[in-house]
Structure 1
Amino acid sequence: MEPVSTSGIATFLKFYGMVIVTTLAIAMVATVVLMMRFPRSPQEWAVGLICTVVSSLAGGAFIIVKWGLHEWVRDIWGVIALGGFFFVCGLPGWAIVRWTFNFINKQEGKTIIEVVKELKDAKNDLRK
């Protein structure tokens, strides 16, 4: 009978270690975001949670893939550092969605032409 392969165990621990660190990073960023900007309704709470999780996963994955940081998974400290990327990328998620919906709510009742003009004016104001 062959002994248990250490490379199989190491791969198992690296994969699940990354899953655990990513899950903890997302849980922490969701807690921070929801505590700092307390939701006004259960719907806003759900939107905040979903947006935070999606921006954390998508942003963290983008950074890891864009700069080839996959090799950091070799030890626990690299995995923890990658978890930090997931945490940081989750912070602006809910704010961006909130700003977008606030803008959309302000535009209610306007025609598309009025909205486009307002966007152009805002763009021109930024250039000044």
Structure 2
Amino acid sequence: MSEPITGAAAGAAGWKLLGGAAGAGAIGAGLASVVVMCAMTPRSPKEWAVGIISTLAASIGGGAAVIQHFGLQSWANSPIGLVAMFGLVFACGLPGWALVRWLFNYIAKRQNADLADVVAEVRNLGK
């Protein structure tokens, strides 16, 4: 008769199913989204959706870029390393929503301007 699957074995199997390091990245990205949404409450359902998507993209893309740039892939071989990678992914997602929100606010204020006006304004920002 086979042994029943214990909670630890089921947890390990679930972690393998999520992909280990990919699971840590997904958890970090999700938590970054929650923190950002609590800190800067969206004004509409559309803004909420944009916030979630931009924070997740910044977490996953930015976290992966930081890990790749500094050669930290070996951290995925230990549980403590995965936690550290989780922290990097989380931190990379925090500015994502703020940057997207600032960009959309800038665009919304200039909604009736033509492209030449916007380009001229951006060029004059550095002066």
Instruction: Give 2:120's aligned amino acid.
Output: K
| Aligned partner (choices 23, 41, 44) of residue 44 of structure 2 | 41
Runs (4+) off by over 2 Å: none
Which one has the bigger helix percentage?
1
Deviation at 1:78, TM superposition (A): 0.6
* CA distance in 2: counterparts of 1:20 and 1:107, whole angstroms: 40
Seq. identity, % = 38
Counterpart residue number, 1:118: 121
Q: What do residues 65-87 of structure 1 show as CA deviations (whole Å, max 9, x unaligned)? A: 11111111121011110111100
Q: Distance in 1 between matches of 2:55 and 2:115?
A: 29
1:53 alignment partner in structure 2: 56
Give the SS at the match of 1:101.
helix
1:97 lines up with 2:100 in the alignment: yes
Alpha-carbon RMSD across the aligned residues, in angstroms, is 2.1
Q: Which runs of 5+ in 1 are unaligned?
A: 1-8
Structure 1 CA distance for aligned equivalents of residues 39 and 77 of structure 2: 34
Partner of 2:111: 108
Provide TM-score, normalisation by structure 2.
Answer: 0.82
Aligned equivalent of 1:3: none
Secondary structure of 2:46's counterpart equals: helix
Structure 2 unaligned blocks of 5 or more: 1-11
> Secondary structure in 1 aligned to 2:126?
helix
Separation in 2, partners of 1:77, 1:16: 16
User: Any idea what the Cα deviations from partners look like across 1:15-74, whole Å, max 9, x if unmatched?
Assistant: 733233222211211110001111111111110000000000000000111111111112
